[in-house]
Structure 1
Amino acid sequence: MGIKEYDVFVIGTGTAGKMAAKACAQAGKNVAIADNKAFGGTCALRGCDPKKVLMGLSEILDRSKQMQGKGVKSLPAINWEDLQSFKETFVDAVPMATEKDLRALGISMYHQSPYFLDEKSLSVEGKTVKAKKVVIATGNKPIQLEFTGWDLTLNSDEFLNLDKLPESMLFVGAGYIGVEFAHLAASLGVKVTLIEGAERPLSRFDKDLVASLVKAMEANGVRFIFNADVYKIEKLRKYFRVSAKQNDIEIEEKTEMVINTAGRIPSIDELNLDQGNVAYSKKGVAVNTHLQNTGNKNVYACGDVADSSGLPLTPLSSFEAELVIDQLLKNKKSSEIDYPNQPSVVFTHPQIAMVGLTEEEAKEKNLSFSVKCKTQLDWYNAKRENHGFYGFKTLVDKKTNQILGAHIIGPQAAEMINLFTLAMNLKLDTQALKKMVFSYPSWGNDIKSMI
């Protein structure tokens, strides 16, 4: 049997990979796709979608606690096993449905991670294949920690699939994942400790609003330890002993379970990129403004694995996939990536959300801007739901009167930030936004008082 040849070979079956593979197949290209995990990608199987299902229960519990004594007499009883079963109804069907869709388009599927043999050849499932173009969309994976006993930790995938919750948990790392999972576990009654090497969590977000979030999470039972670097984990009979240094002082913590939430790295180590002359960095596959690899011009990358200026978010992987499709199908030969303002959300309770520049970034750019900041607001929407943590910070350009950045902490921050994103991408000034007629009383209507 001869070597199979494809017009396009896609590595990764998440949002970006599926989009590229389907579009090329629909355009008449001979397409193959490969993944060493179940087809469907991180977001649908072990990321945002299942996480949000689990967090739905914590939202109910948090809201019930807030209204206790104000109409709620007793808190709901929880059942983690039932919740996990509900979550699986969103996850279980994804791999089969994904493969069905790809098969219907005549796309060849491989269930193994391929690796480069040369610039146009790959080895996959023990076979050599050739591809005119390769799209790398493998996403990110949990980072391996470099200290004694790191292998005793669980990663985010394993946390999402726990059969039962322990009495205590310790999270190593206070980024998106660590903060969200710590909040979830604490809401469900777990004694939670979160250790972070920096002086605060969520370094990308506004420091003033993050300080409010820390207070809210502490009130919910999360214990933070900052400026502490874990260097050893040991297994005891029932507990794990976690050793760390905090400002040169030795500290120890005992817990039933340790979760590695120290970050994620590009999933590229199995691809043998050097052999394919594919340039890469610690941030991922190196790309130009066309999302074309800077070493091998036959290779493109999109989504979290690309070393681009797009944020590691599912909507951005779709955005990048569209540009790669244009390049592969020559829809727009000269098109370059042009990122819109990209919102980010941490789905705690309260949520924290941002779009655009932080105050520090605006100062570094020497921009002329005004700042409006209020926290612990007692506005109507917060009062009617008895929320203790609600606030915002907005940055407005003094010359154009356009919004440079918006930051919100509140129960509906994820939805409210979308309105700011819309206004910023449409280049609406603050007066135009204030003249909008929104429904009342709604959380969205509050944004007019934030500028």
Structure 2
Amino acid sequence: METTHYDVFVIGSGIAGQTVAKACIEKGLKVAITDKREFGGTCAIRGCDPKKIMMQFADLLQHTKQLKDLGVKKVPKIKWKAVQKFKSSFTNPVPKSTEKNLSELGIDLYHQSPKFISETEIMVEGKKISADKFVIATGYVPRTLEFEGAEFLKTSDDILNLKKIPKSATFIGSGYVGMEFAYMLSTMGCKVTILEVGAEALSQFDSFLVEKVVKSLKQNGVKFKFNAETISVKKLKKNRRITYKHKGKTKTIKSRMVINTSGRVPAIDLLDLEKANVTADGGGVKVNDFLQSTSNENVYACGDVSSKSLPLTPLSGLQGYIVGLNICFGNKKKFEDPLVPSIVFTHPNLSMVGYSEEEAKNRYKNIKIFKGDASNWYNAEKENADAYAFKIIANERTNEIVGAHLLSSQANETINILATAMNNNMTVDAFKKMIFTYPSYTNDLKSMLKNDD
């Protein structure tokens, strides 16, 4: 069989893969890229972007519900088909425009998940391909659950393409995806239940604030079952019957949809990495500081699938840039973990940046914790919001802010203010001297830093 050779072959067409491919083609290398799904990646087509477009309608409903009888006479009705059409106006053009852009740059395109057959070769579309460097940028996929009836589970892709809001839905898992879509569907009138195998939701976030998010969702009608192990799902005529164990008892519930939101894992199972001598585990492809495979120097990994990444689009772009640089000029640029804010788009938004309270206590001799419930502050009361809270952490010795956790309708934006302060090693005193617009959620940050525990 004839072999086609490239200088660089990229697997995955999301922001990480595209960034590498473009950097390498600009340096005159022969480059190809492949994807088993539509070109453009998760975020632009079936992740962050379409999710936020749709969720803003839930936010509108939630806000008007809070203000009903305070000036809002009637809560509006949402035309779901129109919402889907609007969302699709963003997502539908992405694959074609991505392919057009890459092709015009001179990058060859393939449309299949490849399989490694050696350390320097793959098979894709029935063709044998060799390359000096391979880049794995395949991202994440939903975790596979194994129990009777697991084939009836839906994923976030299905929610993003719903033709209508279901009467009821059960989510298995209370991470980012489960909590966000549970909020969206419940606000739209769906009866939502969340089954969580652990003892709490959003385990990576501060429990003081998470408890308030859970309480807010409960007020929205969401039912939570913690320490609940799903045993099976059975397809009925209209509904699905979910059997689960809870507090030592076997129980069942019925709902129109059952959605797997138990988490996402690196998309590596189809690649036959062992034939390429590429080491990987549940955290992704094992890479060194240059984002190069620790076991095969011909392979790099970037974005979510890298062992040195978090599932965040800005980080994927940064890693793609670094890999492109290192391939073109030799390993000259190391990846250093930047300060990365995280956000859960529930209502209110839950955000964090820097250290948790536990991490800060382990790292510093003494810390200061600024913590409080701000639901009686002006910005919450003017929205008739029932939840507004914070926890900000400072190193007592230097008085520098080292961690921040916010819960508010504007936490997705105000966390960036604190991230900027932390990136510039700003002290609590220096931050409090800043002048911001008033009244604003940003200005509230100064009030949060007045009293520590």
TM interval, short-chain normalised: over 0.9
Please report how far the alpha carbon of residue 446 of structure 1 lies from its aligned counterpart in structure 2 after TM superposition.
1.4
8 Å Cα contact 2:23/2:321 also seen in 1: no
Map of 2:411 onto structure 1: 413
Map of 2:329 onto structure 1: 330
How big is each residue's C-alpha offset from its partner over 1:108-156, in whole Å with a ceiling of 9 and x where there is no partner? 0000111111111111111111111111000000111111111111111
How big is each residue's C-alpha offset from its partner over 1:173-212, in whole Å with a ceiling of 9 and x where there is no partner? 0000000010000000001101101111000000010000
Please report how far the alpha carbon of residue 384 of structure 1 lies from its aligned counterpart in structure 2 after TM superposition.
1.5
8 Å Cα contact 1:311/1:342 also seen in 2: no
In 1: Cα distance, 2:247 partner to 2:370 partner = 35
Which secondary structure does the structure 2 equivalent of 1:307 belong to? coil
Which secondary structure does the structure 2 equivalent of 1:304 belong to? helix
In 1: Cα distance, 2:268 partner to 2:363 partner = 34
In 2: Cα distance, 1:9 partner to 1:255 partner = 45
Map of 1:377 onto structure 2: 375
Tell me the TM-score normalized by structure 2. Answer: 0.97
Please report how far the alpha carbon of residue 241 of structure 1 lies from its aligned counterpart in structure 2 after TM superposition.
1.0
8 Å Cα contact 2:374/2:390 also seen in 1: no
1:428 to 422, 426, 429: 426
How big is each residue's C-alpha offset from its partner over 1:92-116, in whole Å with a ceiling of 9 and x where there is no partner? 0000000011011100000011111
1:210-225 matches, within 5 Å, as 210-225=210-225
Please report how far the alpha carbon of residue 366 of structure 1 lies from its aligned counterpart in structure 2 after TM superposition.
5.1
In 1: Cα distance, 2:29 partner to 2:416 partner = 36
- State the one-letter code of the partner of 1:328: I
Please report how far the alpha carbon of residue 376 of structure 1 lies from its aligned counterpart in structure 2 after TM superposition.
4.2
Map of 1:151 onto structure 2: 151
Please report how far the alpha carbon of residue 237 of structure 1 lies from its aligned counterpart in structure 2 after TM superposition.
2.3
Please report how far the alpha carbon of residue 367 of structure 1 lies from its aligned counterpart in structure 2 after TM superposition.
3.6
Which secondary structure does the structure 1 equivalent of 2:403 belong to? strand
Map of 2:206 onto structure 1: 206
Map of 2:124 onto structure 1: 124
Map of 2:342 onto structure 1: 344
Map of 2:442 onto structure 1: 444
In 2: Cα distance, 1:380 partner to 1:286 partner = 49
In 1: Cα distance, 2:361 partner to 2:146 partner = 36
- State the one-letter code of the partner of 1:446: D
1:311 lines up with 2:303 in the alignment: no
In 2: Cα distance, 1:328 partner to 1:282 partner = 26
8 Å Cα contact 2:375/2:385 also seen in 1: no
1:278-297 matches, within 5 Å, as 278-297=278-297
Name structure 2 gaps, 5 residues minimum: none
8 Å Cα contact 1:133/1:299 also seen in 2: yes
How big is each residue's C-alpha offset from its partner over 1:82-101, in whole Å with a ceiling of 9 and x where there is no partner? 11111100100000000011
Please report how far the alpha carbon of residue 314 of structure 1 lies from its aligned counterpart in structure 2 after TM superposition.
0.7
In 2: Cα distance, 1:164 partner to 1:291 partner = 43
Deviates more, 1:145-154 or 1:244-253: 244-253
2:387 to 369, 386, 389: 389
In 1: Cα distance, 2:323 partner to 2:431 partner = 34
- State the one-letter code of the partner of 1:274: E
In 2: Cα distance, 1:323 partner to 1:230 partner = 41
Please report how far the alpha carbon of residue 335 of structure 1 lies from its aligned counterpart in structure 2 after TM superposition.
2.4
Please report how far the alpha carbon of residue 419 of structure 1 lies from its aligned counterpart in structure 2 after TM superposition.
0.7
Please report how far the alpha carbon of residue 395 of structure 1 lies from its aligned counterpart in structure 2 after TM superposition.
0.7
8 Å Cα contact 2:341/2:419 also seen in 1: yes
How big is each residue's C-alpha offset from its partner over 1:242-263, in whole Å with a ceiling of 9 and x where there is no partner? 1111122212111111111111
- State the one-letter code of the partner of 1:193: T
Map of 1:359 onto structure 2: 357
Q: In the superposition, relative to structure 1, how do residues 302 and 367 fare at CA in structure 2: closer, same or farther (>3 Å)?
A: farther
Aligned-residue sequence identity (percent) comes to 47
Map of 2:42 onto structure 1: 42
In 1: Cα distance, 2:246 partner to 2:375 partner = 34
Tell me the TM-score normalized by structure 1. Answer: 0.98
8 Å Cα contact 1:7/1:131 also seen in 2: yes
In 2: Cα distance, 1:24 partner to 1:379 partner = 52
In 2: Cα distance, 1:338 partner to 1:90 partner = 33
In 2: Cα distance, 1:206 partner to 1:170 partner = 25
8 Å Cα contact 1:142/1:265 also seen in 2: yes
Please report how far the alpha carbon of residue 291 of structure 1 lies from its aligned counterpart in structure 2 after TM superposition.
0.6
In 2: Cα distance, 1:301 partner to 1:402 partner = 34
8 Å Cα contact 1:172/1:260 also seen in 2: yes
In 2: Cα distance, 1:377 partner to 1:257 partner = 34
Root-mean-square deviation (Å): 1.2
In 2: Cα distance, 1:348 partner to 1:143 partner = 22
How big is each residue's C-alpha offset from its partner over 1:257-288, in whole Å with a ceiling of 9 and x where there is no partner? 11111111110111110111111111111101
In 2: Cα distance, 1:174 partner to 1:367 partner = 33
8 Å Cα contact 1:353/1:414 also seen in 2: yes
Please report how far the alpha carbon of residue 377 of structure 1 lies from its aligned counterpart in structure 2 after TM superposition.
2.7
How big is each residue's C-alpha offset from its partner over 1:220-240, in whole Å with a ceiling of 9 and x where there is no partner? 111111110101111222221
In 2: Cα distance, 1:135 partner to 1:436 partner = 44
In 1: Cα distance, 2:2 partner to 2:27 partner = 25
Map of 1:184 onto structure 2: 184
Map of 2:71 onto structure 1: 71
In 1: Cα distance, 2:328 partner to 2:322 partner = 10
In 1: Cα distance, 2:237 partner to 2:381 partner = 47
Please report how far the alpha carbon of residue 379 of structure 1 lies from its aligned counterpart in structure 2 after TM superposition.
1.7
8 Å Cα contact 2:2/2:128 also seen in 1: no
In 1: Cα distance, 2:365 partner to 2:418 partner = 19
Please report how far the alpha carbon of residue 427 of structure 1 lies from its aligned counterpart in structure 2 after TM superposition.
1.1
8 Å Cα contact 2:33/2:108 also seen in 1: yes
Map of 1:231 onto structure 2: 231
8 Å Cα contact 2:231/2:245 also seen in 1: yes
Deviates more, 1:83-92 or 1:238-247: 238-247
Name structure 1 gaps, 5 residues minimum: none
8 Å Cα contact 1:148/1:232 also seen in 2: yes
User: Number of aligned pairs?
Assistant: 449
